[in-house]
Structure 1
Amino acid sequence: MGKQSAGILLYRKTEGKLQVFLVHPGGPFFKNKDNGSWSVPKGEFLDDEDPLEAARREFEEETGQVITGEFIKLNPITQKGGKKVHAWAIAGDIDHLTIKSNYFEMEWPPRSGKQQSFAEVDRAEWFDIETAKVKINPAQAELIDELIEKL
């Protein structure tokens, strides 16, 4: 089976307007990228893992926040590179300024032999729907559309 991820689309209503919570990937490849680079908090999981449990784990790893409640299953989407993303939506409200992400190590600069540590997520933000659809990975915009339909 190809690569697969599980994630959570957190949403809230503020002053009657729907907002979604997105994260920006850390590391040198995304440092100067913005529109089309944001994502739902998500991560890869194995075939024998429960996708919703993986989504909850990845949300916690990328934000430092535990999320519980009534999850709404969304239809899986496939990103440009072929990765299948399983996602759930849930209402909630967390402070995007206090997220604490896990770190990963990679060789940087390339072919330098030096390992550097980077946050999986370097920032998070609440976006209104119009802005979120510009910021999010284009394939993941379908998740926002489905959330709107289900609400």
Structure 2
Amino acid sequence: MKVKKSAGILLYKRVHGQLVVLLVHPGGPFSKNKDTGQWSIPKGEFSGDENAFDAAIREFKEETGTRLEGHFMELSPVKLKSGKVVYAWALERDIDADTVVSNTFDIEWPPKSGTLKSFPEIDKAQWFTVDEALEKINEAMGDFILQLIGKMEA
């Protein structure tokens, strides 16, 4: 069985001296009324022949509408409960979370209805303090935030 891989970007900035990170909430019917543990860094799957960093940049653009450049800090990959491995890079950058525009995906909804509906990959983006983010983010991906703090303190 082939291991699924995703790559993404953890954006961060300082507001009044406090570290905040950008997280996104998945769009679509499965996460609609769920909050805690549902948020993530902007990320997406990539195939074996694509470079993880290039995939992270592509996915960030697809999910937020923003193309990133700058000095990226590589973080150690994490493994989700599903077995998927997520690669990530951190970048200090400010974007307006309220203007994020995501690409869409199509699924049959409701299930077995024969009706194809389109949903945004992410339905919102928001800046969170570290404590808030660690509560909102998928548990395994919280490690990216802890790694970022560790690298900033080093």
The alignment's TM-score, normalised by the length of structure 1, stands at 0.99
In the alignment, what sits opposite 2:83? 82
1:50-89 superposed matches below 5 A: 50-89=51-90
In the alignment, what sits opposite 1:48? 49
Q: After superposition, give the CA deviation of every residue in 1:64-119 in whole Å (9 maximum; x if it has no partner).
A: 00111000000000001110000000000000000010000000000000000000
Question: Is residue 9 from structure 1 mapped to residue 6 from structure 2 by the alignment?
Answer: no
In the alignment, what sits opposite 2:106? 105
Q: CA deviation at 1:9?
A: 0.3
**How big is the alpha-carbon RMSD for the aligned residues of Structure 1 and Structure 2?**
0.4
CA distance in 2, matches of 1:143, 1:38: 13
Give the aligned length.
151
Q: After superposition, give the CA deviation of every residue in 1:3-29 in whole Å (9 maximum; x if it has no partner).
A: 000000000001000000000000000
User: After TM superposition, what 4+ stretches of structure 1 lie above 4 angstroms from structure 2?
Assistant: none
Gapped runs of 5+ residues in structure 2? none
CA distance in 2, matches of 1:48, 1:71: 22
Q: CA deviation at 1:46?
A: 0.9
Question: Is residue 35 from structure 1 mapped to residue 33 from structure 2 by the alignment?
Answer: no
* Amino acid aligned to 1:57: R
Identity %: 54
SS of residue paired to 1:123:
strand
Gapped runs of 5+ residues in structure 1? none
* Amino acid aligned to 2:45: E
The alignment's TM-score, normalised by the length of structure 2, stands at 0.97
CA distance in 2, matches of 1:79, 1:50: 20
Q: After superposition, give the CA deviation of every residue in 1:109-132 in whole Å (9 maximum; x if it has no partner).
A: 000000000000000000000000
CA distance in 2, matches of 1:136, 1:68: 24
